[in-house]
Chain A
Amino acid sequence: MKLRLAPQPLEWIDRKSSVSFTFEGQTVSGFKGDVISSALWAQGRKVVGRSFKYHRRRGLLSFANHDINALLQAEDRPNVRADVVQAEDGMSLTAVNTFGSLASDKGALVEWIGKFLPVGFYYRAFYSPKFLFPKWERLIREMAGLGKVNTDWSEERKPKRYLHCDVVVIGAGPSGMAAAIAAAKQGVDVCLIDENPYIGGSLDYQYVNEDSQQLNRKYLKETVESMPNIQVITSSYVAGYYGDHWLGINTPDGLIKLSAQAVVVASGVFEQPAVFRNNDLPGVMNASAAQRLMARYAVAPCKEAVILTANPEGYRAALDLHKNGLVVKAILDTGKTAGESVVQAKSAGIPVFENAVLVEATGRKQLQGVTFEVGRLQHHLSCDGLLMSVGWAPAGAPLYQAGAKFGYNYTLEQLLPVELPEGVFACGRINGVFEIEDRIKDGEQAGTAAAQTVLGKEALAPVDYTAKSAHSDPYPIWPHPKGKEFVDFDEDIQIKDLKGAIAQGFDNIELMKRFSTIGMGPSQGKHSNMNGIRILAKLTGKTIDQTGSTTARPMFHPTPVSHLAGMRFRPERLTPLHSFHQQRNACFMEAGSWLRPEYYPTAETREASIAEEVSAVRNSVGLIDVSTLGKLEVFGRDAGELMDRLYTMRMSNMNVGASRYALMVDETGVVIDDGVAVRYSEEHFYVTTTTSTSDSAYRLIQKKVIEWGLKVTVLNRTGQIGAMNLAGPNSRKILAQLTDLDLSNDAFPYLAMRRAQVCGVEATLIRVGFVGELGYEIHTDSQSALKIWASIMEVGSEYGIKPFGVEAQRLLRLEKGHIIVGQDTDGLTNPFEANMPWSVHLKKPYFLGKPSLMKLKTLQNRTLVGFELLSKAHKDMPLESNLLIENGAMIGRVTSIGRSATLNKVIGLAMVETAFSEENQVLKIKLTDGRFVDAKVIKTPFYDPQGLLQKPDESNEGEAA
């Protein structure tokens, strides 16, 4: 049985080129331009999928991008929507959610036990006994879900683009096109968006055979295409509306973020199915689906049709079938529709039954007939197509998301927008306007009004074009004693399921949705929400308005992760020494927004390379780029006051030329930053922050300067200054060759700061001890940093100097027990817990977070401790964040760990409950594989506890370690 029709006036297929693909192992051919469903249907394949729960055979329903039962599995992607995805040569497709095959699906057995699976079954049955849950879980995971994700995917990232326009029109049907033209005529920039590959909307499938619309079609389409200030975006849908007319638009090539001044919503209406027994048999479909099938793809929905209708649109569909030579056995009118198309249908000899009551559709594997009643008389007609045209629901997602209010209109039996936010307009059928000429006029006035809003002009009061008679049946729902009347085709929800949910007290629309799962499938209620509301309203004796609607959240439609993730658009900062690191083939890592050398691959393995770097620092000398540190300069009369207020230690009593550890907490007393502060002069400080907090620390300090009303200026010099740390017993010898500064311990002691020329360049030198050796941090303007670095490397070659990276530095500082904020501290750690009570000067009159710290000092119940692992086996190496367990309960976690070659053991830091923080306490660390290893709490620093190596006598230097 072939269903391809003779050429249609506006068909989307190219009959000169054919495509061929496989479906369930069988070859299917169609024309170029066919979607998968139309190609299958044209060959008479009416079973395109199985339903989610009962595995019933399903055909086409909406043909409007929510045919959830026609989801297919392609080789590279799950859940291909057969009603909108074009067929391509070589595709290999199978139905999703079948056990065996589409033709013979063992999952269909579920239908036989369906009566034992009442609504909410999962929630109740799996609650107890608990020990059975894992078995249930395995079963559900096997049964549930649709397509299978190929986890062997290749990375796909689509660009995100930005677009700005004055007026955006959503939907390029007759009213949308008219709105776009009217707005563009006012001289504003317009974007017209439609989910279909071509503009035209219902004008091109509902009115395709009406000669009277040829002029309108020609005018609207040609004008849209010819106006330079209308940008048309097709095959794309508005995924979400966000504040201030900001739209997320999903296009095949990625997301567009569109910012508009005014929005016209001409998104139209979703046709709603009727609810009756076996309304899911393949062959039963929405009338608009049949019209799309015929007009776009020249495929007949059936050979012999019965039309179930409550509006003139159903009659028009009957006439379309008639015109294509298909048999229309009868029109079953649920009421008494009047109008021109009714007259035409009757004069074409199509039998019309008014006030018809549907009983059921019949057929085994697909539709074979329909039973209905008129008066008390029951009739049966055989047919292979039953087209439903019983009502419409607004495609209102953009309006709902924008904050529009909808109200039920009893003339139309439809929800209409009754209150629109500023700058948002609606027109066409979503606005209750159904006559084609009126839809165009309604579009024109909405487009004009939108443009006038943008231009700041007063808009005229709109003319009301709302239809004067109903286009929806108030209750297109016919319960049957034997059930199987489907309300939601995604989730196989029947009338009895909604009844059951309501009976159990889930009688609020949001509760009913979640308990019964109506509207929770992939189509998100596009064909089920309205009928669900009607049923709930009827069963609870409320009006539609009182019943309300579920919340329409973005995304309007499933949006691929590749679109949401988008292309990486994150600036990477490079230090002034980056070219050197590149020459040395450094292995880079991200640190905040920076790229930093993790290590320089000089040995066979990563570990060996890092070990060589560590050894160079401990035994001779190493050099690390620390330009990524945040670097702030503080000037002004109140500089000392500001420093005192920001940091936990007293800063205003620092001598000029001194440096001091600078620890910052927030108002709750949590450690947020640390660095080194130096004093250049009475009213001039320079302070570093950690790499990742430079922006937030600067922001906070600026805010505090304002709040406290201090006379002080803070400059963020992070990018302007390059910095490096020269560390190791031989560092002084090297530096001495590059500067005239007296480097003796007397002239430049540990923790002092000096400003001097290095390699002829002005630099700030700070004697620091972060890595636990004699060391100098050298800060200079970023242009000169490379010059100093290169000179140090050259002079240092005599001592076997090595550049070292972040990993080596982490191990070196761990050997000293120095913390890294954000690694050894978390979002709740205070300085007492970090084992740094010495860093808090509670006697200071005021500083950020002081009252919190005063309290927290008395409440401490965890402590950062050092530990050594009692096993040296490689397989026993814990990872950072492994837990410490005592008597089955968690007592802490590992924050830092490393294998110290210097000390020949594995050392680490752990945050533990204070009760377990005593020296020599044995802790049990649970490894990722579930085994436990023992560790012993020991004092920090692990290396050089007296800190002698940081401040060696000149005579000893170079001989240390």
Chain B
Amino acid sequence: MKFVTCPSLGRRALSEFTYGGRLEKEPDQESVSEKAWTDYVFYRNGAPQTLKEWWYHRPTGIWFLFERNTLTDRITQVEFANRGIENEA
């Protein structure tokens, strides 16, 4: 079991969190091409990399963003997900 250092609660078990996918900006629905939309929905670049990911803390009902290296599985940053975050992706 991994542990996550939450900015307000400290060390919490990862089992309290639910994965919510990588942080990705949804393409504009009106102008998106079929291929770009299909890639957005189905294609995940699996190469080792540092990703920003959505993680939901179930006991408090709060969404977080983790910065995680998919090769080492090390979580390097944990922050609250704030409104309008999609624009940062």
Contact: B61 with A702, CB < 8 Å? yes
Contacts known (A716-B61, A852-B37); A699 close to B20, Cβ less than 8 A: yes
Contacts of B85 in A (CB 8 A): 706-707, 709
Given A243-B1, A703-B54, A851-B29, output 8 extra A-B contacts at Cβ < 8 Å.
A243-B73, A257-B1, A667-B26, A668-B42, A706-B81, A706-B82, A845-B29, A850-B29
In the complex formed, the residue of B with least CB distance to A668 is: B41
A-B CB pair tally, cutoff 8 Å? 63
Contact: A667 with B41, CB < 8 Å? yes
**Given A243, A246, A703, A850, which contacts B20 in the complex, CB threshold below 8 Å?**
A703
Measured CB to CB, the closest approach of chain B to A815, in angstroms, equals 37
Measured CB to CB, the closest approach of chain B to A135, in angstroms, equals 43
Q: Which of A769-807 contact B (CB under 8 A)?
A: none
Q: Once bound together, how far apart are the Cα atoms of A846 and B2, in whole Å?
A: 38
Contacts of A852 in B (CB 8 A): 37, 41
Contacts of A855 in B (CB 8 A): 34
**Given A246, A707, A845, A846, which contacts B1 in the complex, CB threshold below 8 Å?**
A246
Contact: B1 with A703, CB < 8 Å? no
Q: Once bound together, how far apart are the Cα atoms of A259 and B1, in whole Å?
A: 8
B18 contacts the other chain (Cβ, under 8 Å)? yes
A244 contacts the other chain (Cβ, under 8 Å)? yes
Which of A's residues lie within 8 Å of B, judged by CB?
242-244, 246, 257, 259, 667-668, 695, 698-699, 702-703, 705-710, 716, 845-846, 850-852, 855
Contacts known (A703-B56, A709-B86, A852-B37); A242 close to B20, Cβ less than 8 A: no
Q: Which of B56-89 contact A (CB under 8 A)?
A: 56, 58, 61, 63, 73, 81-87
Contact: A244 with B2, CB < 8 Å? yes
The 12 sampled A-B contact pairs (Cβ below 8 Å) are A243-B14, A243-B73, A244-B3, A667-B26, A699-B18, A702-B56, A703-B20, A707-B85, A707-B86, A716-B61, A845-B29, A855-B34
Contact: A709 with B83, CB < 8 Å? yes
Contact: B2 with A707, CB < 8 Å? no
Contact: B29 with A846, CB < 8 Å? yes
Contacts of A698 in B (CB 8 A): 61
Contacts of A242 in B (CB 8 A): 1-2
Which of B's residues lie within 8 Å of A, judged by CB?
1-3, 13-14, 18, 20, 26, 29-30, 32, 34, 37, 40-42, 54, 56, 58, 61, 63, 73, 81-87
Contacts of B40 in A (CB 8 A): 667
Q: Once bound together, how far apart are the Cα atoms of A710 and B84, in whole Å?
A: 8
Q: Once bound together, how far apart are the Cα atoms of A243 and B73, in whole Å?
A: 9
Measured CB to CB, the closest approach of chain A to B81, in angstroms, equals 5
Contacts of B18 in A (CB 8 A): 699
Contact: B37 with A705, CB < 8 Å? no
**Given B1, B20, B63, which contacts A244 in the complex, CB threshold below 8 Å?**
B1
Q: Once bound together, how far apart are the Cα atoms of A702 and B63, in whole Å?
A: 8
Contact: A709 with B84, CB < 8 Å? yes
Contact: B30 with A845, CB < 8 Å? yes
Q: Once bound together, how far apart are the Cα atoms of A377 and B26, in whole Å?
A: 81
Measured CB to CB, the closest approach of chain B to A813, in angstroms, equals 30
In the complex formed, the residue of B with least CB distance to A403 is: B72
Contacts of A850 in B (CB 8 A): 29
Contact: B63 with A703, CB < 8 Å? yes
Q: Once bound together, how far apart are the Cα atoms of A716 and B62, in whole Å?
A: 12
Among B29, B58, B85, residue most surrounded by chain A Cβ atoms (within 10 Å)? B29
Q: Once bound together, how far apart are the Cα atoms of A695 and B18, in whole Å?
A: 11
Measured CB to CB, the closest approach of chain A to B20, in angstroms, equals 6
Contacts of B34 in A (CB 8 A): 851, 855
Contacts of A703 in B (CB 8 A): 20, 54, 56, 63, 81
Contacts known (A699-B18, A708-B86, A845-B30); A851 close to B2, Cβ less than 8 A: no
Contacts of A243 in B (CB 8 A): 1-2, 14, 73
Q: Once bound together, how far apart are the Cα atoms of A668 and B40, in whole Å?
A: 10
Q: Once bound together, how far apart are the Cα atoms of A695 and B59, in whole Å?
A: 11
Contacts of A708 in B (CB 8 A): 86
Contacts of B63 in A (CB 8 A): 702-703, 706
Contacts known (A706-B81, A706-B83, A851-B37); A246 close to B2, Cβ less than 8 A: yes
Measured CB to CB, the closest approach of chain A to B40, in angstroms, equals 8
Q: Once bound together, how far apart are the Cα atoms of A246 and B18, in whole Å?
A: 19
Q: Once bound together, how far apart are the Cα atoms of A706 and B54, in whole Å?
A: 11
Contacts of B61 in A (CB 8 A): 698, 702, 716
Measured CB to CB, the closest approach of chain B to A556, in angstroms, equals 17
Q: Once bound together, how far apart are the Cα atoms of A706 and B41, in whole Å?
A: 19
Contacts of B26 in A (CB 8 A): 667, 707
Contacts of B29 in A (CB 8 A): 845-846, 850-851
Measured CB to CB, the closest approach of chain B to A255, in angstroms, equals 13
Among A246, A668, A707, residue most surrounded by chain B Cβ atoms (within 10 Å)? A707
In the complex formed, the residue of B with least CB distance to A705 is: B83
In the complex formed, the residue of A with least CB distance to B25 is: A707
3 cross-chain pairs, A with B, having the tightest CB-CB distances, nearest first: A709-B84, A246-B1, A243-B2
Q: Once bound together, how far apart are the Cα atoms of A148 and B66, in whole Å?
A: 48
Q: Once bound together, how far apart are the Cα atoms of A651 and B29, in whole Å?
A: 19
In the complex formed, the residue of B with least CB distance to A246 is: B1
